[in-house]
Amino acid sequence: MSPILIAEQVLNGLQFGVMLFLMAAGLTLIFGVMGLINLAHGSLYMVGAFAAAAVAGATGSFLLALVAALAAAALAGALVELVVIRRLYNRDHLDQVLATFALILIFSEGTRWLFGSFPLYLDIPAWLSGPVTLPGGIQYPLYRLALIVLGLLVAVGLWLLISRTRIGIQIRAGENDREMIAALGVDISKLYTLVFALGAGLAGLAGALVGAIQSVQVGMGEPVLILAFVVIVIGGIGSIKGALIGAVLVGLTDTLGGIFLPELFKLFADPATATATGSAFASMAIYILMAAVLVWRPTGLFGART
Amino acid sequence: MTREAAVNAVILLLLVAVPGWALYADEPFTITLATRAVIFALAAVGLNIALGLGGLVSLGHAVYFGLGGYAMGVLASHAQNYTPLMEWPFVIEGTKSMPVIWLTAIVVSAIAALLIGLLALRTSGVYFIMITLAFGQMIYFFAISWPAYGGEDGLSIYVRNGFPGLNTLVPIQFYGLCLALLLIVLLFSALLARSPFGLALNAARQVPHRVETVGLDPVRLKLVALVISGAITGLAGALFADLNRFVSPTMLSWQMSGEIMVFVIIGGVARLFGPVAGAVIFVLLEHLLGGISEYWQVFLGIVLLLIVLSGKGGVIGMLAGRGRAHD
């Protein structure tokens, strides 16, 4: 196995991880600030992808499609927060799980109703397609490289937002003591809607960006949602830094496991069996990583100690 | 007789009368539908032990349901191909006998619940939900990518497995078998809730630190509850696979976990007959709404949302009153 192939796979893992971060950041913010577990976050990812595919189909512009994805998901998020989610803040986690599961059913079947069961395709724009040559002679798709850069930019932006702005101060205060900041005159329900819409927008953006590599279809959000949960469990609930590190760890483990485990099994089994067994175990690799972190630190790498 | 007991009695009566009528009117499809409801009810009664009694929001019960299904699929496919499961260190043959399959399903699911519980119970609350969901997804992907037993396509069985003295191919006989198992498990569940273990578990849900003070280990109590719960859901999985004569990774999917939880919530958490009522209503909705629109799950979602937001404790809670059974 050549170093170039390995470098390529590391980049793939990084790209996957950065997209997972966009999902996990929203989830962990929403949980940290409102104490809400939101299963419908995957639906917002799907809404973003469909909005992007529809707008790209109508206008042909990829940038407009991204803006549409962000706006549609944030709008859907704000709407859902106003109508359903805000009734759930004082309920137990079971009610939150059930209500957001119901939202998944409504979103998924509603989208199938509107767009049909066939997958849509979102094309990579011409100015981002094709390979680039990186130092060391590695040929790598420009689009995937752009995803890595964009994801890292969003991470930096989010960090600046949370640590440097007035809204960020309110969000952090809301995580610690919601009665106190309400008493200080911050409109807490407006803040909650804002945080939810922000998380939703990030999910929608991720959906549109990934939709251009894969296909845009109903049910695309939930596998990513569950991976984002794994990321949060590893990184620690409520921690943006944890979400970033967890996401990159999961992305790398998944991608590299898929490459190396079959090779590893080839050392002591015939190639066909090794490939089958290796890829079966590779699909479990990230969950084994999660289990290992749980044994070591039950509240995740950066979670609050209890 | 309390109102809840009266509601329960009506449900029980319906479970006997409706298939009886269907037999008389020669409507085998209704019997199959009822069998489906009874098997779902059994799976949900299993979840209700972890959820209602132990307060464990497990979003990964499809693991046990699916493992039960695969216990049936693997044993029966080896039996129909006349190949042994393993030859070394001792020979294990496949089987078409339901009791053996059930026992295997129960043991396999119990072991899975023990392993998942040991890890997941290191945490609580929302972490527990995410971790059970994640382990469910792990087993699901493993089943899809493991080619030996059909992978994504699943396993088909030509003839339903047998039970001594019965012809399980006759719908009403298979229904009777499933109903009998459901009643046995309901009785067990009622006795469990009143047993010293059930009382201690109830306490461990509400005030874990006090339970600890009197010398009981709340985590171990919850672990036992999860194992019992998983084993029952696994049994239901074996029956479900036998009903369809088919098992596939769909039984292991997270949607299945969500649906089993929906059965419990529609009916009412921690109510003895809650899961039964929930499963029956779900199968009815699926059948009736499914006949009206291809997109019936939109309406299911809305109904579910209204039930949760109303906060009345499911259908049994609405009929029998007294808000929630606990908390």
Are the CB atoms for B94 and B84 separated by under 8 Å? Answer: yes
Closest-CA distance, B326 to chain A, in angstroms, reads 13
Judging contacts by C-beta atoms under 8 Å, the chain B residues touching residue A282 are: 145
**Contact with chain B for residue A306, Cβ under 8 A:** no
Contacts of B8-15 with C-beta under 8 Å, sequence gap 24+, read B8/B272, B8/B273, B11/B273, B11/B276, B11/B277, B11/B280, B12/B273, B14/B280, B15/B179, B15/B276, B15/B280
Dihedral angle at the C-alpha atoms of A170, A175, A176, A181, nearest 10 degrees? 40
Q: What is the 8-class DSSP label of residue B161?
A: P
**Contact with chain B for residue A280, Cβ under 8 A:** yes
**Contact with chain A for residue B125, Cβ under 8 A:** yes
Burial B220-241 (b: 16+ CB within 10 A, else e): ebbbbbbbbbbbbbbbbbbbbb
Q: Residue A216 phi/psi, 5° resolution?
A: -100, 110
**Contact with chain B for residue A292, Cβ under 8 A:** no
- The helix or strand, by DSSP H or E, that contains position A43, with its residue range, turns out to be helix A41-59
Write the pLDDT tens digit of every residue in B134-170. 999 999 999 998 888 888 889 998 889 999 988 888 9
ipTM value greater than 0.90: no
Closest-CA distance, A89 to chain B, in angstroms, reads 11
What's the domain range around B227? 3-320
Residue B326 has pLDDT above 80, yes or no: no
Residue B135 three-state SS: helix
CA distance A205 to A71: 9
Dihedral angle at the C-alpha atoms of B289, B290, B294, B298, nearest 10 degrees? 50
Write the pLDDT tens digit of every residue in B13-44. 999 999 989 999 988 899 999 999 999 999 99
Query: Does residue A287 lie within any of the structural domains?
Result: no
Query: Does residue B106 lie within any of the structural domains?
Result: yes
Closest-CA distance, A165 to chain B, in angstroms, reads 29
Query: Does residue B169 lie within any of the structural domains?
Result: yes
CA distance B173 to B31: 10
Query: Does residue B73 lie within any of the structural domains?
Result: yes
Query: Does residue B325 lie within any of the structural domains?
Result: no
Q: Could B119 and A294 be called an inter-chain contact, meaning their C-beta atoms sit closer than 8 Å?
A: yes
Query: Does residue A16 lie within any of the structural domains?
Result: yes
Residue A91 three-state SS: coil
Top residue of B127, B250, B252 to mutate, by most chain A CBs within 10 Å, is B127
Residue B155 three-state SS: strand
Query: Does residue A106 lie within any of the structural domains?
Result: yes
Q: Could A276 and B147 be called an inter-chain contact, meaning their C-beta atoms sit closer than 8 Å?
A: yes
Classify strands B246-247 and B155-156 as parallel, antiparallel or unpaired.
antiparallel
Residue A61 has, within 13 A of its CA and on its CB side, a CA count of: 7
Classify strands A138-141 and B155-156 as parallel, antiparallel or unpaired.
unpaired
Q: Dump the DSSP string for B32-68.
A: HHHHHHHHHHHHHHHHHIIIIIT----S-THHHHHHH
Supply the pLDDT for residue B324: 46
Top residue of A31, A222, A281, A287 to mutate, by most chain B CBs within 10 Å, is A287
Cα-Cα end-to-end distance for chain A: 45
Nearest CA in chain B to A96: B308
What's the domain range around A56? 11-218
The residues with which A131 forms a beta bridge, in sequence order, are A141
Distances (CA, A) of B322 to B247, B263, B268, B319, B325: 40, 20, 12, 9, 7
Write the pLDDT tens digit of every residue in A167-206. 888 888 888 887 888 888 888 889 999 999 999 999 999 9
Distances (CA, A) of B7 to A11, A148, A294, B11: 60, 58, 43, 6
CA distance A289 to A285: 6
Closest to B265 in 3D by CA, of B122, B113, B61, B69:
B61
Query: Does residue A262 lie within any of the structural domains?
Result: no
Nearest to A237 among B126, B297, B302 (CB): B126
Nearest CA in chain B to A104: B301
Q: Could B134 and A223 be called an inter-chain contact, meaning their C-beta atoms sit closer than 8 Å?
A: no
Query: Does residue A238 lie within any of the structural domains?
Result: no
Closest-CA distance, A140 to chain B, in angstroms, reads 28
Q: Residue B26 phi/psi, 5° resolution?
A: 55, 60
Nearest to B137 among A97, A99, A226 (CB): A226
Top residue of A105, A232, A275 to mutate, by most chain B CBs within 10 Å, is A105
Residue A187 neighbours by CB distance under 10 Å: 12
Are the CB atoms for B274 and B316 separated by under 8 Å? Answer: yes
Query: Does residue B273 lie within any of the structural domains?
Result: yes
Q: What share of chain B is helix, strand, coil (3-state, %, to 5)?
A: 75, 5, 20
Closest to A121 in 3D by CA, of A53, A46, A69:
A53
Q: Could B131 and A294 be called an inter-chain contact, meaning their C-beta atoms sit closer than 8 Å?
A: yes
Distances (CA, A) of B250 to B69, B96, B242, B283: 10, 23, 15, 17
3-state secondary structure string, B261-322?
Answer: HHHHHHHCCCCCCHHHHHHHHHHHHHHHHHHHCCCHHHHHHHHHHHHHHHCCCHHHHHHHCC
- Give chain B's domain count: 1
Are the CB atoms for B97 and B168 separated by under 8 Å? Answer: no
Judging contacts by C-beta atoms under 8 Å, the chain A residues touching residue B308 are: 95, 98-99, 102
Judging contacts by C-beta atoms under 8 Å, the chain A residues touching residue B305 are: 84, 99, 102-103, 106
Q: CB burial class (10 A; 0-12, 13-18, 19+) of residue A10? A: middle
The residues with which A141 forms a beta bridge, in sequence order, are A131
**Contact with chain B for residue A114, Cβ under 8 A:** no
Query: Does residue A1 lie within any of the structural domains?
Result: no
Residue B327 has pLDDT above 50, yes or no: no
**Contact with chain B for residue A226, Cβ under 8 A:** yes
Please report which confidence band the pLDDT of residue B322 belongs to, taking 50, 70 and 90 as the band edges.
low
- Give chain A's domain count: 1
Instruction: Per-residue pLDDT tens, chain A, 306 aa: give them.
Output: 688 888 889 999 999 999 999 999 999 999 888 889 999 999 999 999 999 999 999 998 999 999 999 999 999 999 999 999 999 988 888 899 999 999 999 999 999 999 988 899 888 888 888 888 888 788 899 999 999 999 999 999 999 998 899 988 888 888 888 788 888 888 888 999 999 999 999 999 999 999 999 889 998 999 999 999 999 989 998 888 999 999 999 999 999 988 888 888 888 888 888 888 888 888 889 998 998 898 888 888 887 654
Nearest to A283 among B142, B261, B297 (CB): B142
CA distance B68 to A168: 49
Residue B145 neighbours by CB distance under 10 Å: 19
Q: Which residue has the tokens 């069961």?
A: A117
**Contact with chain B for residue A91, Cβ under 8 A:** yes
Query: Does residue B201 lie within any of the structural domains?
Result: yes
